[in-house]
Amino acid sequence: MTDGEPTLAEVCVVACAEAWRGDGAILASPIGVVPTLGARLAQLTFEPELLLTDGEALLMAPADDGKDGTSGSRAGDDRVTEGWLPFRQVFTMVAAGKRHAMIGAAQLDQFGNQNISCIGDWALPKAQLLGVRGSPGNTVNHPVSYWIPRHSRRVLVDRVDMVSGVGYDRAAGLTGQARGFHELRRVVTNLAVLDFGGPDHSMRLKSVHPGVSVSDVADATGFLLAAPYQVPQTRLPTAAELALIRERLDPDARRDAELT
């Protein structure tokens, strides 16, 4: 089962896990299958202090010591409840800055302004989506990363229709502590990993996944993307990481469906 080259989904899981490297004991809030696997992988390997919920109100810790990531039960949910975190407490963790969320975007622009509210004119939208949810508050309180399973010009756009999550150009206009609390960590897509290390905190290509070229990424992006002279390949999963993903965290391979 651990034989074979890593799949695209597995490369993405590891790229998502890397978003939480160095975060320590904060609440990791991944939305989606691949980011959730990434957060759990980070918790089992290089970031054992991370807090994770069951998707509702319980905080779940690995059943073993979580250090080597190889012991513990291999089937089903091998986690134990370590705490209680109803939504009102999540909101308090948001305001306290003790959280790093990785969320989706219907639209995302060059400076990381995110839209999950609606497509078209807000007053009479062409397509009503979820609403802004917690994005406005998340982005001015704690680190946020984005997961884009279908990197295209429809998603990576020149201008978003409704700013739900705040980007760097708008954050630059904030006064007080909100500006310092604002941090967009990274963007993981099905093609590449990006960050906001370009001019004026614009989006920058950080690495491309195996088999993807820089021009593939540029063609699928609706704005000019900053890039270093040489773009490295995204880090591949280690054998131990592959074993954890395939045998312990996602034996039913739910990760693949999110990328098709």
Number of H helices, E strands in the chain: 8, 12
Query: Shortest gap between Cβ of 130 and another protein (angstroms)?
Result: 5
CB-count exposure of residue 58 (10 Å: 0-12, 13-18, 19+)? middle
Query: Shortest gap between Cβ of 149 and another protein (angstroms)?
Result: 14
**Cβ atoms of 164 and 136 closer than 8 Å:** yes
Nearest-angstrom CA–CA distance, 180 and 153:
30
x-or-dash string of contact with another protein, 52-91, rule CB under 8 A: ----xxx-------------------------x-xxx--x
- Binding-site size for another protein (CB under 8 A) equals 46
**Near another protein by CB under 8 A, which window of 67-75, 134-142, 151-159, 245-253?**
134-142
Nearest-angstrom CA–CA distance, 65 and 82:
13
Main-chain dihedrals φ then ψ at residue 181, nearest 5 degrees: -75, -20
Asked if 164 interacts with another protein (CB under 8 A), we say yes
Asked if 187 interacts with another protein (CB under 8 A), we say no
x-or-dash string of contact with another protein, 200-239, rule CB under 8 A: ----------------------------------------
Nearest-angstrom CA–CA distance, 129 and 12:
25
Chain residues binding another protein by CB under 8 A are 56-58, 84, 86-88, 91, 94-95, 117-118, 122-137, 139-141, 162-166, 170-171, 173-178, 181-182
